[in-house]
Chains A and B, each alone.
Chain A
Amino acid sequence: MVEVAHAVRAYWLIAALWIRASMAYPLSFWTMTVGGVLITFLDFVAIWLMFSHLDSYGGFTLREIGLLYGVTSISFRLADMLVGSVEKIGQKVRSGDLDAMMTKPVPVLAQLCADRFELRRLGQIAQSVAVFGWAAPIVEWNPQRLAVLAMALVSGVVIYFCVFVAFSTIQFWTTDASEFANAFTYGGNTIMQYPMTIFPLEVVRSLTYLLPLTFVNWYPCLFLLGLHDPFGAPGWFRFASPLAALVLVGVTTLVWRQGLRRYRSTGS
């Protein structure tokens, strides 16, 4: 526990350094922030434009999709800001920077995640919160639903954190295949923006049992909307997000240790 506290403290010290650095170029910071907001906003505009040709999509209304979109995006963008830099492992291996990180009295993972911390991603988080806020009134809120939402958001950040780390670890084996992880990180967030009803059963099963992204937003949102799973998944899945996150943390820890053990310096 002490070790974790130490790692988190070190993480924030490094992150604060990068935040100060990025604020040294305010114009660049703000254009990148606004640009990021626009790019992610257009994601949602595309879904919105689709609705000019439809009344419902996979049995869901635009606001219901806004809810799914909001919950997955808030979790994903938070995780992306906090640990997204981990996808540069391959680059650090090639440049030899990872050797330098190993010599420092701070866990390598904390250093990798905090490296080039991008505060500008707050803009994308704000955009996700805005979509969620627009969709939220369709939910009849009560204490249970608020609790499930809070549980889903925390678990969602942890789940995406694990996806970022686990799939970036592959770069210990293939240093220049960083784009592979994008299929699961950005691809994962993209697929979860849609209602699962538009995908075949095999895809939904895989996203439940293999890579449990459905626990980020799909099952919790079914509860928020008072719906039952059209695929007939057990009702308790709607509260199982923390369980999925825990399992994924276990797997990710194993993968990460394996990867780090596999690491041999480039020797340059």
Chain B
Amino acid sequence: MSGAFHAQLSLYAAIATRSFRRYSTYTAATLAGIFTNSVFGIILSFAYLALWEQNPSAGGYGAEQAVTFVWIGQALLMTIALWSGGSTDDLAERIRTGDIAVDLYRPVSVLGWYLAADLGRGLYHFATRGVAPTIVGALLFGLVLPSPAGAAGFLVSVALAVVVSFAVRFLFAASAFWLLDATGPRVLLSVLATFFSGLTLPLNLFPDGLRQVALALPFASYVQTPADIWLGRHSGPDLLAAIGLQVAWAVLLLGACALVLRAATRKVVVQGG
């Protein structure tokens, strides 16, 4: 039993490693991406600095915290594949072409396979397009650094952010089982994710009502929660609650993925593939 478990684990690790390497092939693309993230980071930093100069405690952040928020957003947007990309795009494409039938044949969980691949990708993007622009931001603007507990919490929170975002993207991609083309849902998802993750504006600056809704949605796990943990806005029991909400969303959404996959599998079998 434990042997089988161990075999499964090393299989997923192998998938994640291959996925990591796949993305690391394109060095020029990575460098270009780091440059672009940095340019947007600089633009938004000045935009936020002007806002906080007028209103030094907007949303409960100080100016330096606001700028740090900008750079965390730039660091995470590729890590969590905010505008899609990542293994869920492969999934949508394989559903469209019918290659998904091969995936369903394999003696491996489809969900586990794609999750492992996405985690490998996320790790690569975090290590390159996450870390490098953050260094640029720190050099140019000076960022707030997290406490040791904050840093640890941040890393856990980012990992959960990737899982939550993966599950959401998986659900939207799986709509291709019924719609054949998941382009429309994908556009809709990037609209929701961009706005409700806190990337365009920290959710704490949203007006009352909208703010509470936005903070409860899974998209808050993408940028808002990790950023607030980095900035020390969640500590002690509050930190556990913030991470707990992410875990809850991750479990719930992965469960939904499994259900959708099961329904879809039945559909594929009925159609004869």
Residues of A within 8 A of B (CB): 25, 27-28, 31-32, 35-36, 38-39, 42-43, 45-46, 49-50, 52-58, 174-180, 182-184, 187, 190-191, 194, 197-200, 203
**Complex Cα distance A45/B196, Å?**
12
**Complex Cα distance A52/B223, Å?**
22
How near does chain B come to A256, taking the closest CB pair, in angstroms? 19
Question: In B156-213, which residues have CB < 8 Å from any A CB?
Answer: 181, 183-185, 187-188, 190-191, 194-195, 200-201, 205-207
Known: A39-B194, A42-B195. A32 touches B187 (CB 8 A): yes
Contact of A57 among B32, B50, B188 (CB under 8 A): B50
Q: Which residues of chain A are near B195, meaning CB under 8 Å?
A: 42, 45-46
Among B26, B32, B33, chain A packs the most CB atoms within 10 A around the CB of B32
| A–B Cβ pairs within 8 angstroms, 6 of them | A31-B185, A35-B191, A57-B54, A177-B32, A187-B36, A190-B40
Interface string of B250-262 (1 = CB under 8 A from A): 0000000000000
Do the beta carbons of B28 and A54 come within 8 Å of each other?
A: no
How near does chain A come to B217, taking the closest CB pair, in angstroms? 15
Known: A27-B184, A38-B191, A39-B190. A52 touches B36 (CB 8 A): no
Do the beta carbons of A42 and B205 come within 8 Å of each other?
A: no
**Complex Cα distance A25/B182, Å?**
13
Do the beta carbons of B183 and A180 come within 8 Å of each other?
A: no
* SS of A interface (majority): helix
Do the beta carbons of A50 and B51 come within 8 Å of each other?
A: yes
Do the beta carbons of A39 and B191 come within 8 Å of each other?
A: yes
Q: Which residues of chain A are near B43, meaning CB under 8 Å?
A: 187, 190-191, 194
Interface string of B34-48 (1 = CB under 8 A from A): 011001100100110
**Complex Cα distance A191/B183, Å?**
29
B151 within 8 A of A: no
Do the beta carbons of B36 and A182 come within 8 Å of each other?
A: yes
**Complex Cα distance A197/B54, Å?**
13
Do the beta carbons of A49 and B207 come within 8 Å of each other?
A: yes
Do the beta carbons of B54 and A54 come within 8 Å of each other?
A: yes
Do the beta carbons of B29 and A179 come within 8 Å of each other?
A: yes
Size bracket, chain B contacts: 35 or more
Do the beta carbons of B183 and A32 come within 8 Å of each other?
A: yes
Do the beta carbons of A177 and B39 come within 8 Å of each other?
A: no
Residues of B within 8 A of A (CB): 26, 28-29, 31-33, 35-36, 39-40, 43, 46-47, 49-51, 54-55, 58-59, 181, 183-185, 187-188, 190-191, 194-195, 200-201, 205-207
Do the beta carbons of A31 and B184 come within 8 Å of each other?
A: yes
Known: A35-B191, A178-B32, A203-B46. A53 touches B184 (CB 8 A): no
Q: Which residues of chain A are near B51, meaning CB under 8 Å?
A: 50, 53-54, 57
How near does chain B come to A128, taking the closest CB pair, in angstroms? 17
Q: Which residues of chain B are near A27, meaning CB under 8 Å?
A: 184
Q: Which residues of chain A are near B185, meaning CB under 8 Å?
A: 31
Q: Which residues of chain B are near A35, meaning CB under 8 Å?
A: 184, 187-188, 190-191
Do the beta carbons of A28 and B183 come within 8 Å of each other?
A: yes
Q: Which residues of chain A are near B55, meaning CB under 8 Å?
A: 53-54
Q: Which residues of chain A are near B50, meaning CB under 8 Å?
A: 57-58, 194, 197-198
Q: Which residue on chain B has the smallest CB distance to residue A120?
A: B187
Q: Which residue on chain A has the smallest CB distance to residue B57?
A: A53
Known: A39-B190, A57-B51, A57-B54. A183 touches B39 (CB 8 A): yes
Known: A187-B40, A194-B47, A198-B49. A28 touches B29 (CB 8 A): no
Do the beta carbons of B47 and A198 come within 8 Å of each other?
A: yes
Do the beta carbons of B183 and A43 come within 8 Å of each other?
A: no
**Complex Cα distance A190/B33, Å?**
17
Q: Which residue on chain B has the smallest CB distance to residue A199?
A: B46
Do the beta carbons of A42 and B187 come within 8 Å of each other?
A: no
Q: Which residue on chain B has the smallest CB distance to residue A179?
A: B32
**Complex Cα distance A213/B62, Å?**
31
Q: List the 5 closest A-B pairs by CB distance, nearest first.
A: A35-B187, A31-B184, A198-B50, A177-B32, A180-B32
How near does chain B come to A117, taking the closest CB pair, in angstroms? 17
